[in-house]
């Protein structure tokens, strides 16, 4: 039969689930959670019993026998910096995500839900490539303020999975290539993959603005906003994440809607959209310097990478650096399942999560 793996990826208002037998996906769906249901919970993490029950109800409806599962993998949440790869879920990890996550985020639900489903079955539960994977080189951590150090924060799960898939497509080993991977979705991050590691990156507050995020903002102006007396901390945070980018400029975060506006002759929409791609291209060029220009390929991934308009805007600015390869979409479910499969096959060892005292 092969290994049967349940993958769980919680989002802000929905939960994606997928069932794989080895590398074949046999079930995939998105469970949408009504706003009125989620509104009953004070914190995101408080939703985990509700979401777990919704997942179990769905699997029962689809006739999935839990006793046939080999493993359950959840999207990794906002843990302190960790290494890449698989971590077996334990009580210490669950407690951290429930009571003291680095940041409030829906992904914090992934590990507790996977753990609760797998534990009574006596099978493996794990996370894979959480967003806080940190492999930065020492030189990349330094900033001009000694007490502020850069930490890695990017779309690690999709970025690494896409980089590995691209290397395989080129008949190369992931460990032997230099790729700049730009994840272009609701959030945008750009990562420099070299020697099988993400040695530098531009997080969503360091690089291009995105559909709902502000990206890099001039420091003096941000200080002025913070001390203007007009906004509290939460309001400034929302100006940076959630009410920024395309949404702030054009009233929508939907790239398809923006492209329709451009097709209808909206000059402002065209300028703002091209500015976003201009900043993505600039970020790619910035990271190319990390490996002294020795880039094997530039990879565009994420949902907006499906757009020919976006791809063309970026290509014309960066093709002089390296070939541009489009790997559109988010490979998160596949990345979760395939990483877990490698653990089950003994090709990779799941690490043990421990808090640093």
State the pLDDT confidence band at 77, using cuts at 50, 70 and 90. confident
Specify the pTM: 0.86
Q: Give the pLDDT confidence score for residue 186 in this predicted structure.
A: 84
Distances (CA, A) of 231 to 224, 243, 342: 11, 14, 48
Q: Does 5 have pLDDT greater than 90?
A: yes
Q: Of 105 and 59, which is predicted with more confidence? A: 59
- In this predicted model, which residue has the larger pLDDT, 72 or 237? 72
pLDDT at 59: 95
Confidence check: pLDDT of 330 > 90: no
The average pLDDT across 225-247 equals: 92
Strand ranges, E, within the chain: 4-10, 14-21, 24-32, 71-75, 86-88, 124-128, 178-184, 188-194, 197-202, 297-302, 324-328, 351-352
pLDDT by residue (tens digit) across 92-104?
999 999 998 888 8
CATH superfamily, domain 4-133+333-352, is ATPase, nucleotide binding domain (3.30.420.40)
pLDDT at residue number 168: 94
- State the pLDDT confidence band at 298, using cuts at 50, 70 and 90: very high
- Residue 211 has φ and ψ, to the nearest 5°, of -50, -35
pLDDT in tens, 263-292: 999 999 999 999 999 999 999 999 999 999
Q: Each residue of 127-181: pLDDT tens digit?
A: 999 888 999 999 999 999 999 999 888 889 999 999 999 999 999 999 999 999 9
User: Under CATH, which number does the domain 138-322 receive?
Assistant: 3.30.420.40
CB 73 within 8 A of CB 7: yes
> pLDDT category, 317, cuts 50, 70, 90?
very high
Q: What is the mean pLDDT of residues 107-120?
A: 94
Phi and psi, residue 253, nearest 5°: -100, 0
**pLDDT, mean over the chain:** 93
Predicted confidence (pLDDT) per residue in 6-36, tens digit: 999 998 778 999 999 999 999 999 998 888 8
pLDDT-based confidence at 45, cuts 50/70/90? confident
Predicted confidence at residue 16, as pLDDT, reads 93
Band of residue 357 on the pLDDT scale cut at 50, 70, 90: low
86-88 and 124-128 strand pairing: antiparallel
* Alpha-carbon gap, residue 235 to 252, rounded angstroms: 19
Return the number of other C-beta atoms located less than 10 Å from residue 26's C-beta.
10
pLDDT of residue 154: 86
Q: pLDDT grade, residue 39 (50/70/90)?
A: confident
Domain with CATH 3.30.420.40 in the chain: 4-133+333-352, 138-322
Section 323-352 average pLDDT: 94
Say if residues 247 and 211 touch (Cβ distance below 8 Å): yes
Q: Which string of DSSP letters, residue by residue, matches 134-201? A: ----HHHH--SSTT------S-HHHHHHHHHHHHHHTT--GGG-EEEEEEESSSEEEEEEETTEEEEE
Rounded to whole angstroms, the Cα distance separating 52 from 34 reads 15
At residue 243, does pLDDT exceed 80? yes
Higher confidence at residue 36 or residue 58?
A: 58
């Amino acid at each position: 039969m092969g290994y049967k793996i349940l993958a769980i990826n919680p989002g802000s208002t929905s939960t994606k689930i997928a069932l794989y037998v080895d590398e074949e996906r046999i079930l995939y769906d998105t469970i949408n959670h009504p706003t009125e249901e989620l509104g009953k919970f004070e914190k995101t993490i408080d939703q985990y019993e509700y979401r777990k029950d919704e997942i179990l109800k769905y699997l029962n409806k689809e006739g999935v026998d839990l006793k046939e599962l080999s493993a359950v993998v959840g999207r990794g949440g906002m843990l302190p910096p960790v290494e890449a790869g698989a971590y077996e879920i334990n009580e210490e990890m669950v407690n951290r995500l429930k009571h003291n996550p680095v940041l409030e985020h829906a992904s914090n639900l992934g590990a507790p839900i996977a753990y609760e489903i797998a534990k009574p079955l006596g099978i493996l539960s794990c996370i894979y490539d959480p967003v806080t994977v940190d492999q930065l080189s020492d030189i990349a951590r330094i900033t001009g303020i000694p007490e502020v150090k850069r930490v890695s924060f990017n779309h690690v799960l999709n970025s690494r999975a896409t980089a590995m898939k691209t290397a395989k497509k080129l008949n190369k080993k992931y460990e032997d290539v230099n790729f700049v991977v730009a994840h272009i979705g609701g959030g945008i991050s750009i990562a420099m993959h070299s020697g099988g590691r993400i040695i530098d990156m531009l997080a969503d507050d360091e690089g291009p603005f995105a559909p709902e995020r502000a990206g890099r903002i001039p420091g003096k102006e941000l200080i002025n906003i913070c001390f203007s007396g007009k906004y509290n901390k939460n309001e400034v945070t929302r100006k940076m994440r959630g009410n920024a980018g395309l949404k702030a400029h054009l009233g929508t975060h939907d790239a398809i809607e923006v492209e329709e506006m451009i097709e209808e002759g909206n000059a402002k929409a065209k300028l703002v959209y091209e500015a976003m791609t201009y900043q993505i291209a600039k970020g790619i060029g910035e990271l190319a310097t990390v490996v002294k220009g020795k880039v094997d390929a530039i990879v565009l991934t994420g949902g907006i990478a499906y757009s020919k308009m976006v791809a063309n805007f970026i290509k014309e600015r960066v093709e002089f650096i390296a070939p541009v390869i489009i790997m559109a979409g988010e490979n998160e479910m596949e990345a979760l399942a395939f990483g877990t499969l490698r653990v089950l096959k003994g090709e990779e060892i799941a690490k043990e999560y421990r808090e640093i005292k």
